[in-house]
Each structure stands twice: as C-alpha cells, then as structure tokens.
C-alpha cells in the first residue's frame, strides 16, 4: 500500500483495485506508527498573547515551513497535560514554562527530541536550549540610566513567577546597581507580569504609596508601556525615565518612544527549529546552549533626545 516493499506487479494491481472498489483510505495514525514520521513540529507554551509571542511564532513557522513540515501549537502549560507528544510530532519546542520538569524527563527518556526556548533544562537532562543575553543587556541598560541620566532610585518590574528571563534581567539590574554603589531597595522591586496591566497596576501602587523613584526598568516592553500609562494618568508632573526589554513593534510607536533592549526574538524561534531538526545528526560535542546577543536601543522614554542603537 505504501509502495515501500517489493511486490509482484500483478499482485500490487489486485490490491490497488480492491482498495478502489472498497473505497479504502489508509489511516493517518497507522501510517505514523508504521513510519514514526509525522513531518510535524510541536510547540508548547503557556499562552499566546502580545507582540513578543507573535514574533517568536513567526520565526518558528518560517523555519518549519522551509523544512516542508507542519506546526502544531499547544497552550497546555506546566501542570496540565498536553495533546502533543511522540504520537503526533517528530519533536517538541518548549517555551519557558510550557512543560513541567517531570514531563521533560518523560519525553527525554523516550528519546523524543526536545529543544527549550528561554529556559535551561533540569541538571540531569542534556536538552539543548536557545535564549538571548538577558543579564548583559539588562546591565547595559541600567548602566545607561545611571551614567547618562544620573538615575539613583531605579525600580524593577519582574515578570511572571519562575520565568528565567525575568530572573536574569533582575541579576543584570542588581549587578549594575552594585557596580555603581547603589543599594537595592526591596520596596522598588515589584511584579509586572510581562503585561501592560501588570506594569500599570504596580506603578500606580508605587505612586499611591509615595515612593520616590527617578527611573523604572520594566522586565519587558508591555510592562513598560503600563508604567508610562500610570505616570501619565496619576503623576504627569513627574520626570521618570522608563525602559523596557525586547524591542517589540509597540516600543517604536508609543509616546514617548521606548528605550529598550533589542532581543532577536524571531531569530530565537528560527534557531530553535534548526537545532531540533539537526538533533539526529548534530555533533555530540556541540554546546547545548545557543545564546543570541542583545543590545540597547536608546529612545525618548529614558530622556535621550532621539533614537539610536548602542552595540554592546
């Protein structure tokens, strides 16, 4: 039926004729079991929202299509079972908290290819991962606030709990403060959740509580936009530098335009797919971590007069 075994022509013709008469169609699931090839890549993530995920998906989809494969997406997230696995994909891309450590161990034990995005694997698993230089980009951005604009009371907005990008960005923030002799004020570290509503809510709480701050480093661009909205609504007379991370399209169009760290989000998606497709033939000595560079983009929200990029 698959044309993959030597069969006498006359017998093959009888089989094909019987298939036509019986209107037989091969079951896709049975074909997958027989060939163990679905020509499908699976993507696991906790949610689909915002410009960041759209850019990541664009990079993934472009590379998957170029390879002549299909993409299946699941938003089950850690703690919930997913419909994606070895039965319907040739490999999995796992973004951040898209799969629990236990599920990762199960997939790895079954030798099902997995590549992580913006997440390091558990210590006992040699799973490849792709991410960006979070700590260095954050350090460079906070250095700029201190050295170019004289900021001394700099607030930081964390992302979702357990999100590795947020942790590395906070480490860069703390390193910069320490290098400049500035003590971290725990009251100026809050939760933005990588959302504009979260950023606006936390900034509003700081303003209502009478906290003094001359700059806010939001963990991502969406939270930074929320901070700008809170300042515009509740404290329009205050001069506060606001910066973000990722350089999503919104960063260029918000008023004032947003100083941020440019992360190659689309390239992360593309690199992860290539790493997944190469896993069967990759050099066993190749490093597991693919770290893509970032650099800051200076715009008006930090107090700079115009837009320019700073490589670093």
CA distances from 127 to 100, 104, 267 (A): 14, 9, 19
pLDDT confidence band for 233 (50 / 70 / 90): very high
Residue 15 has pLDDT above 80, yes or no: no
What pLDDT does 46 receive? 83
CA pair distance 123, 118, nearest whole angstrom: 16
pLDDT tens readout for residues 55-96 = 999 999 999 999 999 999 988 655 555 677 788 899 999 998
What pLDDT does 32 receive? 41
Domains of the chain: 38-132+266-292 (3.40.50.2300), 134-263+295-310 (3.40.50.2300)
Share of the chain above pLDDT 70, in %: 86
Query: How would you write 153-176 as a 3-class SS string?
Result: CEEEEECCCCCHHHHHHHHHHHHH
pLDDT confidence band for 47 (50 / 70 / 90): confident
Task: Name, in order, each residue with C-beta under 8 angstroms of 259's C-beta and a sequence gap of 6 or more.
Answer: 141, 144, 241, 242, 243, 244, 296, 297, 298, 299, 300, 301, 302, 304
pLDDT tens readout for residues 125-175 = 999 999 999 999 999 999 999 999 999 999 999 999 889 999 999 999 999
pLDDT confidence band for 100 (50 / 70 / 90): confident
Dihedral sign computed on CA atoms, order 8, 11, 17, 18: negative
Q: Kindly report the average pLDDT of the chain as a whole number.
A: 88
Does the reported pTM lie above 0.85?
A: no
State CA 161 to chain mean position distance. Answer: 15
CA pair distance 92, 190, nearest whole angstrom: 33
Residue 20 has pLDDT above 90, yes or no: no
CA pair distance 264, 270, nearest whole angstrom: 10
């Amino acid at each position: 039926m698959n044309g993959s075994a030597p069969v006498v022509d006359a017998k093959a013709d009888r089989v094909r004729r019987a298939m036509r008469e019986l209107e037989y169609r091969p079951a896709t699931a049975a074909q997958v079991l027989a060939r163990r090839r679905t020509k499908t890549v699976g993507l696991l993530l906790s949610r689909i929202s915002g410009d960041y995920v759209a850019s990541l998906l664009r990079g993934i989809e472009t590379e998957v299509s170029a390879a002549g494969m299909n993409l299946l997406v699941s938003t089950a997230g850690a703690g919930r079972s997913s419909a994606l696995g070895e039965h319907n994909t040739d490999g999995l891309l796992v973004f951040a908290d898209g799969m629990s450590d236990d599920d990762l161990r199960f997939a790895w034990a079954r030798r099902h290819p997995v590549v992580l995005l913006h997440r390091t694997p558990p210590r006992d698993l040699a799973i490849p991962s792709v991410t960006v230089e979070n700590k260095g980009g954050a350090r460079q951005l906070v250095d700029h606030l201190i050295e170019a604009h004289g900021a001394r009371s700099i607030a930081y907005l964390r992302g979702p709990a357990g999100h590795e990008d947020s942790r590395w960005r906070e480490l860069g923030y703390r390193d910069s403060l320490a290098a400049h002799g500035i003590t971290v004020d725990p009251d100026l570290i809050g939760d933005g959740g990588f959302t504009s509503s979260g950023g606006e809510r936390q900034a509003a709480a700081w303003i209502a509580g009478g906290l003094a701050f001359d700059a806010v480093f939001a963990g991502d661009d969406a939270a930074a936009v929320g901070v700008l909205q809170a300042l515009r609504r509740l404290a329009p007379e205050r001069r506060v530098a606001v910066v973000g991370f990722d350089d999503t399209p919104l960063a260029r169009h918000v008023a004032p335009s947003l100083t941020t760290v440019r992360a190659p989000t689309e390239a992360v998606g593309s690199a992860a797919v290539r790493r997944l497709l190469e896993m069967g033939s990759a050099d066993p000595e190749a490093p597991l971590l693919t770290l893509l560079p970032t650099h800051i983009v200076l715009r008006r929200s930090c107090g700079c007069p115009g837009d320019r990029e700073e490589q670093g």
